Every structure is written in C-alpha cells, then in structure tokens.
Structure 1
Amino acid sequence: MLKIAYTMAHGRGELDLLLAELALRLQDRGLQTRGIVQTNTGCETDQRCDMDVQVLPDGPMIRISQYLGKEARGCRLDPDAMATAVATVERSLSTPFDVFLLNKFGKQEAEGRGFRDLLAEAAAAGATVIAGTNPLNAQAFDEFSDGQATCVPANIDDLLAWYEQINAA
C-alpha cells in the first residue's frame, strides 16, 4: 500500500506555510525529510511574489520564479531553476529518509515532468509522500497515485494525524 496524500489550500501562500510547518514538525520528531517547501518573498507590494524553494532537510534555497515584467501574465516558473531543484533533491535521495514533501504537484508534474519521477521513486521506496496541489491538478495527482492518495484537509493537525495513522502499522 502506498503512503501518499495531498492537501489543498486556497489562500495566497497558505499551502506553502502549511507544508513548511509540517516539515519542521516532522523533523522535530526525528524524521528524515526530503523534497522541497516553498517560501514566497517580496509580497509586500501588489506585485507577484518571488518564489523560492528550500531543498529539505537543510539544503539550499533556489529561486524558481523569474521576472517577466510588470504586466506579464504568463507562467513565471523558471524551467532551469526547477531543473536545478529537481537535480538537487534527486541527489539527496541517496541517503535514507522517511518523508518526501512537495510544495506543489503542479502543471509540470501533471504533464509528467518536474518532481513527478522523484515522487514515484520515494513512494516506491516506502517513504510517506505528502504533496500540495490545487483543484486544477488534483485529478492528475489522483491518477498519478493510481487512486491510492488520500486528500487530507489543509491544517497541521490533520496532516500530522494522517501521518501517524498511515505509519502506525
């Protein structure tokens, strides 16, 4: 049985804060985490935030957004930076870990790119996998997990309770 879950939140940056807190709580329990969590910076103005990801557990911060101009409306994901983040996380999987966290199962993963292969590798290795997603990509995540993923409400207590329940056996 796969130990895989996803969670969704609708507020700006809410999911990022939640998964970063989850990573800290799991690490405080002595668990080895891998994957990435996101921090948004530069949100003080009405402009779009810069997106940085931290490679878990204590790896580098990588800016995955790119500035496309004040009026830009397209995707700001920097594909080269995303590739760097994926490669950095992939190298970290060579040491044992308990939990794989992904800040967002997004368009890249839904289309078979990004962190998708690493999620599959972590799940196949028996690690617990928890990813954030949004309603647009929830079905793709469910298909990725072959219908075995649990949707957990977006709050720290429910996520920790799910983790404890799935790993109690």
Structure 2
Amino acid sequence: GAVVFHTGQRNRKLAETNQKSAGSELEQVQGFPIAAIVFERGFDIDGLLGGICQTAVKAGINVGGLIQETRGGIGGCAQSVHVVDIQSGEKFDIWEDRGREARGCRLDEEGLIVSARILDKAVRDKVDLLIINRFGRAEGLGRGLVGSFAQALEAGIPLLTSVREPYTDAWRQFHGGLACELESNRKAVDCWLAGAVLNPRTV
C-alpha cells in the first residue's frame, strides 16, 4: 500500500534535507578566509554588498572597508560613483572627471590613496570582516588596491570582495587557491560568513 507521512514527519524530512543541503554548501566554503562573489556585468553587486554590510553591522560584526554606490550614466562610465568608508560613512569619488567628451574611465589617484588608507586602518583595527568592493582591471594588472588585498591576506582577516569576467583569472592567480568563489546571492555569502566570521576554524 501507499506510505503516508504525517505532517510532522514531512516537516522533519524537509528540515533534514535542508540541513544536509546547507551543510554541503557550508563545507564547500569553510576554511577559506577570503571569498569573492562572482557576478556578471549588469548585476547589482553594489546593492548586494551594501545589504550584506548592513546586516552584518546590525548583527554586531565589526565590519570595515569599502562599498560602492553607483548611479547610472551614459556609455561605459557611471554618471556618479562614490566609494563609502564602512566605518565612518564618509563618501568620496574614485573616478577622474575627464569631461563629457572623454572616452573611457580612469581611476583617480587621490581617491585610490584615500581608499588604501581606509583599508590600512581597518586592517590595523583588526576588524571581524573586511569588505573591498572590487577586484578589477587595475588590481589584475598589479595596480589599484592590490596592495590592500595583499595586506589583508597577510593579516588573516576575513575578506569579502567581488569579481567578474574578464578579471577572474587574474583574481585566481593573485590568491593562489586561498579564496573561494561565491554565487551572487545572499544565501551563498551567508554560508561563507557562517564559517569565516561567525564560527571560524582555529588552526
């Protein structure tokens, strides 16, 4: 005859299945102090990182680093790009104003210097979680904020960043297997945070 599950049995089975699934995902990202959210062009990665940051701060996690606020523009550049110091809330520009006729985007050297100082301070403060909004073209070429990435790596501070094609190969070469890659959703990031920040493995 047919096997009939009571509601309680079905709920227990569902809970066990969910626990196994969550456990499998957690095992895949546990043990990695660094994680990069891999996203596609056009995805609102800044919104995702901003939401993660807000949730972590509300949970009492000491978060430092940089997130980015972007407003749409014309062509390849955003009309307005601000970087936000997570600890102070200060906002500043990171792109040079090259005029309306200029082609392409160029990082502002002064903005990079300020960004590096903010990240250096967060590392010295030994924050629970460091967020660096992007590993991009400049970092892939050994420029930009690559020194801040290296400093965080050496300090052993849990680091969350994001990367997209065509910079994923440069990112993998940089970390040499010390980082995991996450899907661009909250569930994947929460799994990593659970192991790296909330319940880190001790060596």
**TM-score scaled to structure 2, two decimals?**
0.74
- Counterpart for residue 173 of structure 2: 143
1:85 aligns with 2:121: no
- Counterpart for residue 123 of structure 1: 153
CA apart distance, 1:13? 5.9
- Residues 81-109 of structure 1, C-alpha deviations (whole Å, 9 max, x = no match): 12222123223332121111111101221
Judge conservation of contact 2:82–2:92 (CA < 8 Å) in 1: yes
**TM-score scaled to structure 1, two decimals?**
0.87
Judge conservation of contact 1:8–1:15 (CA < 8 Å) in 2: no
- Counterpart for residue 187 of structure 2: 157
- Identify, as 1 or 2, the structure richer in helix: 2
Q: Quick check: which has more Rg, 1 or 2?
A: 2
The count of residues paired between Structure 1 and Structure 2 equals: 167
For 1:4-153, list aligned pairs within 5 A: 4-12=34-42, 14-41=44-71, 43=72, 46=74, 48-153=78-183
Give me the whole-angstrom Cα distance separating, in 1, the residues matched to 2:43 and 2:91: 17
Gaps of 5+ in 1: none
CA apart distance, 1:2? 4.6
Secondary structure of the residue aligned to 2:172 is: helix
Give me the whole-angstrom Cα distance separating, in 1, the residues matched to 2:35 and 2:82: 23
Secondary structure of the residue aligned to 1:135 is: coil
Judge conservation of contact 2:126–2:157 (CA < 8 Å) in 1: no
Give me the whole-angstrom Cα distance separating, in 1, the residues matched to 2:158 and 2:122: 16
CA apart distance, 1:5? 1.0
Judge conservation of contact 2:96–2:105 (CA < 8 Å) in 1: no
Consecutive aligned runs of 4 or more in structure 1 exceeding 4 Å deviation: none
Q: 1:3 aligns with which of 33, 36, 41?
A: 33
Report the aligned-residue RMSD.
2.0
CA apart distance, 1:46? 4.1
What percent of counterpart residues are identical?
A: 23
